[in-house]
Amino acid sequence: MEQLARWCLPRVRRTIVLSCGYGPDTEDLTQLVMTRVFAKLDTFRGEARFFTWVDQVAINAVRNHVTKKHRVFLMPTSDDARTLEPVDWETPERALEQRRLLGHLAGHFAAIRPKRRLPLVLSVLHGYSVPEIAAIMGISFDAAKKRLQRGRQDLTARLKRDPRCRDAIREFVR
């Protein structure tokens, strides 16, 4: 079970961080999702990939959290953009800079409306196609496609206004 938790935990955390940002409730939500995964393990029917099922549990929990309670942990401010300095990924501070970039990026995601944000997270983070997103979220193909498209446009607009974030992202993969 511990190994199972070790495999699931980073994936669940990334889903939550990108969907909700870092905040006081992040850890509670992580624990909630992990608890649900293990409580519902017996209901996993083997019809989907195991991690797809985990993602579905996570995204449902996140959806309940952010849409019903209108919670967003982290909203980026204009100051946040200035906190991202040009970085050298080869320095010993690499991990720290990566955390900062991911948190900053999570802020951009958090500013997007939840209906658009969650398909965007599933697409960007986990690489799901539109039919898969529709299946995971239990919405129609057209709805998934439209929400993903709008989420992408929202994120593009935000990234366009944040040159340092763009540089940091491009630098990350070099």
Under rule CB under 8 A, which residues in 133-152 are in contact with other proteins? Answer: 134-135, 138, 140-143, 149, 152
Map tokens 């999570």 to a residue: 106
3-state secondary structure of 127: coil
For position 132 contacting other proteins by CB under 8 A, the verdict is yes
Of 25, 52, 71, 111, which one interacts with other proteins (CB under 8 A)? Answer: 52
For position 59 contacting other proteins by CB under 8 A, the verdict is no
Binding segment (CB under 8 A) for other proteins, from list 63-71, 72-80, 111-119, 155-163? 155-163
For position 64 contacting other proteins by CB under 8 A, the verdict is no
Binding flags for other proteins, 71-110, as an x/- string (CB under 8 A): -----------------------xx--xx-xxx-x-----
Rounded least distance, CB 81 to other proteins, Å: 14
Residue 8 structure tokens: 């699931």
Q: Long-range pairs for 101-104 at CB < 8 Å and ≥24 separation?
A: 101/165, 101/168, 101/169, 101/172, 102/17, 103/17, 103/21, 103/22, 103/74, 104/76, 104/80, 104/165, 104/168
Q: How far apart are the first and last CA of the chain?
A: 37
Residue 124 structure tokens: 């960007």
Residues within window 4-23 making contact with other proteins, judged by CB under 8 A: 4-7, 9-10, 13-14, 17-18, 22
